Structure 1
């Protein structure tokens, strides 16, 4: 009979990387990044549309649609893009944090407050488990977010160049 040694983890449950990952995965905001490709794209379009509705009155005040429709549309797109980039950056920041906690061989935790933190070395089984989760669950999410931000940044750059060209002409 094989004997298993149970190592007592002194890290509070809510500060263990695996539990932080599970909590992040199920939170209403951060689960936006974990959804299927179609749902992720739909959510991005919804957020962009809300941003467009919020930024279009400001763009209309600067560039009346009946006088300069192209500048109005480009300005509204840029405003919507700013909102979307801020949301994507917040999502990326949260997932990067979890990725870092899963990747490390040690866990820094607070026992009762910020002034008495401790570091605990993970057992090798926990390191392997956490790195597998990081590689197969978290990395694809982070890569998706980075690719989305990159594409959105490119689109916003093109819109900025169009805006600069037509606003000075």
Structure 2
């Protein structure tokens, strides 16, 4: 990240009208949120949330002051089996009728190296908010050819959480407590 920041910093010196913060709107068509949880000890069940939104604000001079807000439309969950999707949406798991959204708002960023950071924030699931830390890799900042050259920023993120921390203990003896999350996301610079 530092090398990218240095390059972008040079651009700022050449074009002083640019702001030090850049806001990227998360592109739901190029964002994949995948979760995994152990089921009955045989194999993990994998699911996808295809509908998300949010923004990533990068502070080019002080990346530790960057921030992210994001939300997921939980009723769109897909696990590859309609009956399982119905169960996951039901009151025993995501209870999407009562809680149609998962939210994340960053509260702290710890830089690891030039292209990675730990991003901690308030994660709200089932109406309960707990701190969750994502390991984040900055993949690339640059013109996106699929968007006519509009600047994009791509990230890979990983985290794990215990569903019991959010009040969900349904079938605790059969279904794992740990949920792993992987996110691949692309944001585009606001115009």
Question: Which structure has the highest strand share of the two?
Answer: 2
| TM-based fold match above 0.5 | no
Structure whose CA Rg is larger? 1
TM-score (norm 2): 0.26
Question: Which structure has the highest helix share of the two?
Answer: 1
